[in-house]
Amino acid sequence: MTEPLHPPFWKPLPAKTRLYESLYALNRGFEFTLLSLERLEQFGMFELEFLNAYKVSLEHIRSKANGRLMETLTQFEEEQNAYFDNLEREWEDQFKDPDDAFFEANDRKQEIKKKIKELQKGLKRQKAKKQP
């Protein structure tokens, strides 16, 4: 069996979806536990003080866990962003016309000249205001 001429150089990570699903499941579990404590309140058999303390503890643990997990996920996504930004740039560079660099440099030179003129006009106005 022959391989395709241009095999994919990147494949999506199936674990990424499971990663976010797991984070969702974690929060869903906390939510289920909190709702269970609310149901227990309705029976009137348990001390509200303790049930509320358990809810506060659960929310605190959830908050700490989500905060730390989100820090890790943010770092992961930033790394992924940089990686795919480079891949995308490499892909685009393959199709660039070498003369485009000349045109881009010329355009940038014109932008700089325009900025210099604007700055010079501003300096002239300042000098005019300072003179009596």
Q: Per-block average pLDDT, block size 10, for the chain (132 residues)?
A: 53 81 97 97 95 98 98 95 92 81 88 94 83 70
Q: What is the pLDDT of residue 97?
A: 79
Separation between Cα atoms, residue 123 and residue 117, nearest integer Å: 10
In one letter, which amino acid is 108? R
Q: What is the pLDDT of residue 104?
A: 86
Q: What is the pLDDT of residue 9?
A: 62
